[in-house]
Structure 1
Amino acid sequence: MFDGELLSRKSVLVTGGGGGLGREIAAALSGLGARVYICGRRVGMLEETAAAISAKTGNPVLAHACDVRDADIVDSMIEKIWQDGPLTGLVNNAAANFISPTKDLSARGFRAITSTVMDGSFHTTLSCGKRWIDQGVRGSVVSNLVTWVWTGSAFVVPSAMAKTALHAMTMSLASEWGPYGIRLNATAPGPFPTPEAWEKLNPLPDAQSSATDFATIPMRRFGEMHELTNLIAFLLSDACDFLTGQTIAIDGGQHLAAPSTFADLTNMTGEQWQSAREQIEASTAKSKAAQTKG
């Protein structure tokens, strides 16, 4: 739907850009002419993704290993990127999540999610924002949130809390940084299946939540990646310079018509939750093995 050069003058960082949704976003932005940077903790995956997208689009995609939970590491990465020229856009996509009864969560488990989602997104936003302000550069930040910022959700409380904090950050900084020409917006996707995230949110086939069931979506289907990446590209473009401070739901109307949450998992038995934990741990171990191999 867009001209192929829509983002030809843009330079954008996508956090968590090595795989899953981040890879899809990076590919879409590169395909529209943007110079794209991706970061994450899996070096091998990042490099493979960067090479594959660059070969397909003909536009440079550059990979940086970075743990967004560490503010100093983030600032060092942003400084290195700035040596090529200032970024014009940032996509806060790095995230972590899994379902669990909140009473069973450890402090470590809570921080594993909130430190990536909330802290990491703030670190990247601040590091870019202070440079944009100092240099008089107009910038755009897009954060990937969830519809739970309006409804809350059982069994994913750390994620709901962290994403809601970013919803507040989006509104707050849109007001504070508007005079500098810096826009902040967010997307709130419904179910857009990606393999790794889907496994952790659906560890038991016989206990699927309505949050990931297309029967609860008025449009009776899951989202398609190009629909979400089109929205993100639009928000990063010059087509909507007066749009800021907004979180836009893109969920086929799910959160308006039915619980877009995991509340119905209240009926799961202790044995089912134990099986779910084992499935999540197996998925995590598989991901770490892939990271080590890379």
Structure 2
Amino acid sequence: MATEQIFKNNILKGKVAFVTGGGSGICKGMTEAMLRHGAKAVIISRRFDKLDKAAEEMRKEIGAEVLAIAADVRKPEDIIKAVELTIEKFGRIDILVNGAAGNFLSAIETLSYRAFRTVIEIDLIGTFNTSKACFPHLKKSKGVVINVSANLHYQATLYQSHAMAAKAGVDALTRAMALEWGPHQIRVNGVTPGPIGETVGFAKLSPVDVSKEDISRRMPLQRVGKIRDIEYATLYLASDASSFVTGTILLVDGGDALRKHSILPYPESVLNPFDSSPKKVGAKL
């Protein structure tokens, strides 16, 4: 999706963005927005086949330099190697987007020990691993970190205890990094998407029998989000437009966090993960 030219198209010229989860969904949109505004990008994911396809699409559609590297954010050695390859290719890292994440619906009592740990490892530990590996290069470039969060834990959200715990940790880590890395002129902020209607996650995590229109009517701004909404926030946080902003969690959720929205119908398979209904949820990883 092309971002409308609200920002000058050269505001990120010469910058290199390192994006985990950048091959799909919201993070792919974030990557494309930065590419369209002058950046080069490295996208990271475990699945190289899909990642390489996404990189090729970006090269053809945008005409920018994109490097795809298969790596697991849970493994420090993978990320350290990916950073080394990035420096070999581009010589610098200016923007880090920690977007790799995992989520699904599951009641706590049916959530496996392994599944809970896996989400924490991808979202929270992956953010730490990647940030630490990129730090020396962000220090050199006086760079920017954008941690992708969620508003699930600002009140509470049914059947997402694992993601709530992980993203609460990400928000805390964002503030800690901003405090400690500020003297190095590294800005660290979070961006928190609300319901983004164009994504797989929206369909997967939405209550059953509740349409996009129903959810829109319950939103203060009366609509669900678009990926472009997150793209605009990314460009703001990645550019000098936010040069005095650090330690901020930027809510881009149409006011979703202001309302109570947990009491909605969810599939019975949440309570019984062995149910064979079409809306079956992944209680195991």
Q: Same fold (TM over 0.5)?
A: yes
Distance 2:260 2:193 in 1: 14
Establish whether residue 156 from structure 1 lines up as the match of residue 155 from structure 2. no
Gaps of 5+ in 2: 1-5
Relative to structure 1, the CA distance from residue 102 to residue 37 in structure 2 (aligned partners, 3 Å threshold; closer, same or farther) is same
Residue in 1 that maps onto 2:3: none
Of residues 98, 120, 124, the one that matches 1:114 is 120
* 2:208 alignment partner AA: P
Q: Secondary structure at the match of 1:244?
A: coil
Distance 1:120 1:154 in 2: 24
Contact 1:14–1:37 (8 Å) recurs in 2: yes
* 1:121 alignment partner AA: T
Of residues 10, 17, 20, the one that matches 1:5 is 10
Contact 2:25–2:199 (8 Å) recurs in 1: yes
Contact 2:198–2:226 (8 Å) recurs in 1: no
Residue correspondences, number: 277
Gaps of 5+ in 1: 289-294
Residue in 2 that maps onto 1:253: 255
Contact 2:191–2:250 (8 Å) recurs in 1: yes
Post-superposition offset of 1:238:
1.6
Of residues 160, 176, 181, the one that matches 2:185 is 181
Q: What's the TM-score once normalised by structure 2's chain length?
A: 0.89
Residue in 2 that maps onto 1:41: 46
- Which runs of structure 1 show a deviation greater than 6 angstroms over 4 or more consecutive aligned residues? none
Of residues 59, 63, 69, the one that matches 2:74 is 69
Post-superposition offset of 1:200:
2.5
Contact 1:199–1:280 (8 Å) recurs in 2: no
Of residues 221, 232, 235, the one that matches 1:233 is 235
Contact 2:46–2:72 (8 Å) recurs in 1: yes
Contact 2:267–2:279 (8 Å) recurs in 1: no
Q: Secondary structure at the match of 1:69?
A: coil
Post-superposition offset of 1:129:
1.3
Deviations 1:114-138 (A, max 9, x none): 11101111111111113434xx330
Relative to structure 1, the CA distance from residue 281 to residue 121 in structure 2 (aligned partners, 3 Å threshold; closer, same or farther) is farther
Distance 1:269 1:7 in 2: 44
Q: What's the TM-score once normalised by structure 1's chain length?
A: 0.86
Residue in 2 that maps onto 1:125: 131
Residue in 1 that maps onto 2:33: 28
Residue in 1 that maps onto 2:221: 219
**Greater helix content:** 1
Distance 2:270 2:153 in 1: 27
Post-superposition offset of 1:194:
4.0
Contact 1:18–1:42 (8 Å) recurs in 2: no
Deviations 1:82-103 (A, max 9, x none): 1221100011111100111111
Relative to structure 1, the CA distance from residue 166 to residue 30 in structure 2 (aligned partners, 3 Å threshold; closer, same or farther) is same
Distance 2:271 2:208 in 1: 12
* 1:179 alignment partner AA: P
Distance 1:201 1:209 in 2: 12
Distance 2:199 2:172 in 1: 29
Residue in 2 that maps onto 1:101: 107
User: After alignment, is 188-197 or 80-89 more displaced?
Assistant: 188-197
Q: Secondary structure at the match of 1:188?
A: strand
* 1:141 alignment partner AA: V
Contact 1:91–1:141 (8 Å) recurs in 2: yes
Identity %: 29
Distance 1:114 1:233 in 2: 27
Post-superposition offset of 1:198:
2.5
Residue in 2 that maps onto 1:291: none
Relative to structure 1, the CA distance from residue 95 to residue 272 in structure 2 (aligned partners, 3 Å threshold; closer, same or farther) is closer
